[in-house]
């Protein structure tokens, strides 16, 4: 029974959930954690690191540590958001092919899809290790506001990592899924998702049919701010700390990049602590030095101070939430605040008590805190994965999961450019997907031989102010019927038909920053090769570790053997030990394994000799541990 894992591919952290033995579970990664930093790095030693190991070295290697790549995925270089991000991202960013974005790691440029694929490949490998089986299919979540190319690019990242992306679903929908599992009534829900990089608010309706026991989840409105997140809180704290230190010591730490990185980590830690404590002390030893020698950093910070620093952000998120709920459609859901039955908190930052208070004040009720805010989105994706897997296999869903009908909406209006550069809406924002709209284009008027069609996504009235999704030419035929089809993933497909003959026309889409099929295939191969290379490296390290343990054991046994063991045996062991020492740090795995096996056999002779002399294995270390089977060996699959 093949599993479809659910992946929350977050801006700062990612998580994986799956249905296992009838229970929905978060899968721990190789490091034993339930979330994985969405960070990739090339270490100073030239090794590719993903997750916690990448995060840990970011302080000393900021230029080659790629984080928050979700901000760039599927975006155009000219996008104002990209221009804004490139100013503060510590790694290099440049315009990529087709007007997209590229980031630099080491001396190579990568597309954001490739970087995301590296994170996904780790999530996949770790999930496989936990499950003890291969995983080839996934459901991946994206923010509700992600446009067509961001969704497509995320899907491509999955494919590069060797995952067939069965479905892209909106993060708030996934959260509601996780929440809606046991609810048997109609509900209006707000998902307030404050993560590390973005704030995303969604208004959903869960419908329940008591007869069929079927649930539907419909996204009624989405809103938020793509540049508001927990990172902004960290920055505010960091600035405050720099100012305080300047006042205290007269030293400007902002000029020292290493000090800034250390302050950044300390700021985030302090923020976390202030979610449970009302005061914390920030201690950073040896932050800088002056004429008198090294200096430490030591400043107290109260919860009240933190709240005053970020009050504007809290107010802003509350205002955006109110707007999404109460503004008339299509901007908002057109509900009253009092209509809302439940408010779900998603994203690590919602652990901040003042944030919970602000949400409570707005709705006049306690937000729902029953589900871990870091895991709820992945759990929802896991549920969707189980539903899709069950459907594929023609079986019933396992455990608590019911077959929920998912009705998602398009986050942005799909329009086409018409005369005078006007954007004419075709599929308005918040239309339930999948959906399709057909439009007839005429090339016959004014003796034209071809007509250019520009497909746009966005809410602005003029074409030029919106994002160009596709540009294509229709030629030769008087009347062409073009169908714009938004699938369940929120991804646009365009097809065309000659009205007179009913024959399909191919539509070649240009103006897309997304990778071509060939490019995806090439990158997929590269990623697979890299994974194989990683596996080889891991096996080599395992072999070396085993050799190391055995060599240690052999030396110990020889030392302790005394006269209980014949010189002949001792010489045999010594010879094999020397042979192993020669190869054990080399690259030849087979040679290491052969030498290890040979030594292991020799050592057994020591144990045997001692046993024969009536010195049982319990009383003697060499005998007891001397047998290769019982010797200390690194557990396979452990992170090295």
* Cα 419 from Cα 82, distance rounded (Å): 30
* Cα 319 from Cα 92, distance rounded (Å): 34
* Cα 356 from Cα 523, distance rounded (Å): 43
CB nearer to ligand AMP: pick between 171 and 218: 171
Q: How far is the CB of 213 from ligand AMP (least distance, A)?
A: 32
CB nearer to ligand AMP: pick between 199 and 472: 199
Q: What is the DSSP letter of 460?
A: -
* Cα 2 from Cα 18, distance rounded (Å): 11
CB nearer to ligand AMP: pick between 228 and 477: 228
Catalytic (active-site) positions? 8, 70, 171, 193
Asked if 79 is part of the footprint of ligand AMP (rule: CB under 6 A), the reply reads no
User: Residues binding ligand AMP: what is the number (CB under 6 A)?
Assistant: 18
Asked if 272 is part of the footprint of ligand AMP (rule: CB under 6 A), the reply reads yes
Q: Please state the φ and ψ torsions of residue 175, each to the nearest 5 degrees.
A: -60, -45
Which x/- pattern over 442-481 shows residues binding ligand AMP (rule: CB under 6 A)?
A: ----------------------------------------
User: Could you give the dihedral angle defined by the CA atoms of residues 376, 379, 381 and 387, in that order, rounded to the nearest 10 degrees?
Assistant: -140
List strand residue ranges (DSSP E) for 52-127, in order: 65-66, 93-95, 101-105, 108-110
Which x/- pattern over 218-237 shows residues binding ligand AMP (rule: CB under 6 A)?
A: ------------xx------
- Tokens representing 499 are 């009205």
Do 128 and 134 contact (CB within 8 A), yes or no? yes
385-404: contacts with ligand AMP (CB under 6 A): none
CB nearer to ligand AMP: pick between 309 and 509: 309
* Cα 160 from Cα 528, distance rounded (Å): 8
Asked if 625 is part of the footprint of ligand AMP (rule: CB under 6 A), the reply reads no
Which residue stretch of 42-50, 138-146, 215-223, 268-276 sits at the interface with ligand AMP (rule: CB under 6 A)? 268-276
CB nearer to ligand AMP: pick between 376 and 469: 376
Q: Which residue is nearest to ligand AMP (CB)?
A: 230
Binding residue for ligand AMP, selected from 112, 332, 347, 626, defined by CB under 6 A: 347
Asked if 490 is part of the footprint of ligand AMP (rule: CB under 6 A), the reply reads no
* Cα 367 from Cα 343, distance rounded (Å): 5
Q: Specify the 3-state DSSP secondary structure of 366.
A: coil
Q: How far is the CB of 131 from ligand AMP (least distance, A)?
A: 23
Asked if 34 is part of the footprint of ligand AMP (rule: CB under 6 A), the reply reads no
Q: How far is the CB of 68 from ligand AMP (least distance, A)?
A: 10
* Cα 406 from Cα 380, distance rounded (Å): 12
Which residue stretch of 132-140, 175-183, 344-352, 427-435 sits at the interface with ligand AMP (rule: CB under 6 A)? 344-352
Terminal C-alpha separation, the chain: 31
Q: Specify the 3-state DSSP secondary structure of 395.
A: coil
Q: How far is the CB of 38 from ligand AMP (least distance, A)?
A: 9
How many CB atoms neighbour CB 421 within 10 A?
12
Q: Which residues pair with 5 in a beta bridge?
A: 138
CB nearer to ligand AMP: pick between 275 and 594: 275
Which residue stretch of 242-250, 287-295, 347-355, 404-412 sits at the interface with ligand AMP (rule: CB under 6 A)? 347-355
* Cα 376 from Cα 372, distance rounded (Å): 6
Which residue stretch of 4-12, 255-263, 305-313, 451-459 sits at the interface with ligand AMP (rule: CB under 6 A)? 4-12
Asked if 275 is part of the footprint of ligand AMP (rule: CB under 6 A), the reply reads yes
Do 380 and 373 contact (CB within 8 A), yes or no? no
- Tokens representing 74 are 């599927």
Binding residue for ligand AMP, selected from 4, 6, 7, 13, defined by CB under 6 A: 13
Q: Please state the φ and ψ torsions of residue 540, each to the nearest 5 degrees.
A: -65, -45
Q: In the sheet where 450-457 sits, what is the strand order?
A: 422-427, 414-418, 450-457, 467-475
CB nearer to ligand AMP: pick between 158 and 347: 347
Q: Which residues pair with 101 in a beta bridge?
A: 95
Asked if 499 is part of the footprint of ligand AMP (rule: CB under 6 A), the reply reads no
CB nearer to ligand AMP: pick between 272 and 471: 272
CB nearer to ligand AMP: pick between 71 and 351: 351
CB nearer to ligand AMP: pick between 224 and 348: 348
What are the Cα distances from residue 140, in Å, to 4, 65, 168, 174, 429?
A: 10, 23, 5, 10, 22
Q: How far is the CB of 217 from ligand AMP (least distance, A)?
A: 21
CB nearer to ligand AMP: pick between 288 and 349: 349
348-387: contacts with ligand AMP (CB under 6 A): 348-349, 351-352, 374
With CA atoms as reference, report the closest residue to 148 among 523, 429, 518, 520. 429
Which x/- pattern over 167-196 shows residues binding ligand AMP (rule: CB under 6 A)?
A: ----------------------------xx
Characterize 352-378 residue by residue with b for buried, 16 or more Cβ atoms within 10 angstroms of its Cβ, and e for exposed.
Answer: bebbbebbeebbeeebbeebbbbbbbb
Q: How far is the CB of 359 from ligand AMP (least distance, A)?
A: 14
Binding residue for ligand AMP, selected from 3, 4, 6, 10, defined by CB under 6 A: 10
* Cα 106 from Cα 357, distance rounded (Å): 44
Q: How far is the CB of 231 from ligand AMP (least distance, A)?
A: 6
Give one word for 141, left, alpha or beta, with left for phi > 0 and alpha for psi -120 to 50. beta
Binding residue for ligand AMP, selected from 55, 76, 236, 271, defined by CB under 6 A: 271
Which residue stretch of 7-15, 140-148, 175-183, 624-632 sits at the interface with ligand AMP (rule: CB under 6 A)? 7-15
* Cα 286 from Cα 299, distance rounded (Å): 14
Q: Which residues bind ligand AMP (CB under 6 A)?
A: 10-13, 195-196, 230-231, 268, 271-272, 275, 347-349, 351-352, 374
């Amino acid at each position: 029974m093949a599993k479809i894992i659910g992946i929350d591919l977050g801006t700062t952290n990612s998580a994986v959930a799956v249905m296992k033995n009838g229970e929905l579970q978060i899968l721990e990664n190789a490091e034993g954690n339930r979330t994985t930093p969405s960070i990739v790095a090339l270490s100073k030693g030239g090794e590719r690191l993903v997750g916690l190991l990448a995060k840990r070295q970011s302080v000393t290697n900021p230029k080659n540590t790629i984080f928050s790549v979700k901000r760039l995925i599927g975006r155009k270089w000219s996008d104002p958001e990209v221009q804004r991000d490139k100013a503060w991202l510590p790694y290099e960013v440049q315009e990529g092919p087709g007007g997209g974005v590229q980031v630099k790691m080491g001396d190579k440029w990568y597309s954001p899809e490739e970087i995301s694929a590296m994170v996904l490949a780790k999530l996949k490998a770790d999930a496989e290790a936990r499950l003890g089986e291969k995983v080839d299919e996934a459901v991946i979540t994206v923010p509700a506001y992600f446009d067509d190319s961001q969704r497509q690019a995320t899907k491509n990242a999955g494919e590069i990592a060797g995952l067939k992306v069965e479905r892209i679903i909106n993060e708030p929908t996934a959260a509601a899924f996780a929440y809606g599992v046991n609810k048997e009534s109609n509900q209006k829900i707000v998902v307030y998702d404050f993560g590390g990089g973005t704030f995303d608010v969604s208004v959903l309706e869960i419908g329940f049919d008591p007869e069929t026991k079927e649930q539907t989840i419909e996204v009624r409105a989405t809103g938020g701010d793509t540049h508001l997140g927990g990172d902004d809180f960290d920055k505010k704290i960091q600035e405050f700390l720099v100012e305080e230190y300047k006042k205290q010591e007269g030293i400007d730490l902002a000029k020292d990049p290493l000090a800034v990185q250390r302050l950044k980590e300390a700021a985030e830690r302090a923020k976390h602590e202030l979610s449970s404590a009302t005061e914390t002390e920030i201690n950073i030893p040896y932050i800088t030095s002056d004429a008198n020698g090294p200096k430490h950093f030591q400043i107290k910070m109260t919860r009240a101070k933190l709240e005053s620093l970020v009050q504007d952000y809290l107010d802003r998120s509350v205002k955006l939430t109110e707007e999404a709920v109460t503004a008339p459609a299509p901007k908002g859901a057109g509900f009253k605040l009092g209509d809302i039955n439940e408010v779900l908190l998603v994203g690590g930052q919602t652990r901040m008590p003042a944030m919970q208070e602000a949400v409570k004040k707005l709705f006049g009720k306690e937000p729902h805190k029953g589900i871990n805010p870091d895991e709820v989105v992945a759990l929802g994706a896991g549920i969707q994965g189980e539903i899709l897997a069950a459907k594929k296999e023609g079986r019933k869903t396992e455990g608590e999961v019911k077959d929920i009908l998912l009705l998602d909406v398009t986050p942005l209006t799909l329009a086409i450019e018409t005369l005078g550069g006007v954007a004419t809406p075709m599929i308005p924002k918040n239309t339930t997907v999948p959906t399709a709209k057909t439009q007839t284009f005429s090339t016959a008027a004014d003796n034209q031989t071809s007509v250019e069609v520009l497909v746009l996504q966005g809410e602005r009235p003029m074409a030029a102010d919106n994002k160009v999704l596709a540009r294509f030419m229709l030629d030769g035929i008087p009347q062409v019927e073009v169908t714009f089809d938004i699938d369940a993933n929120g991804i646009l497909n365009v097809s065309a038909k000659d009205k007179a003959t009913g024959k399909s026309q191919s539509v070649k889409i240009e103006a897309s920053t997304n990778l071509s099929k060939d490019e995806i295939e090439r990158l997929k191969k590269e990623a697979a090769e890299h994974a194989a290379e990683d596996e080889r490296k891991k096996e080599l390290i395992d072999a070396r570790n085993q050799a190391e343990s055995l060599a240690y054991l052999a030396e110990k046994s020889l030392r302790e053997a005394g006269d209980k063991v014949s010189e002949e045996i001792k010489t045999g062991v010594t010879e094999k030990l020397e042979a192993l020492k020669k190869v054990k740090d080399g690259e030849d795995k087979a040679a290491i394994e052969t030498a290890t096996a040979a030594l292991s056999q020799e050592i057994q002779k020591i144990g045997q000799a001692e046993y024969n002399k009536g010195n049982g294995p319990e009383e003697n270390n060499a005998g007891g541990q001397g047998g290769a089977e019982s010797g200390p060996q690194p557990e396979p699959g452990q992170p090295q």
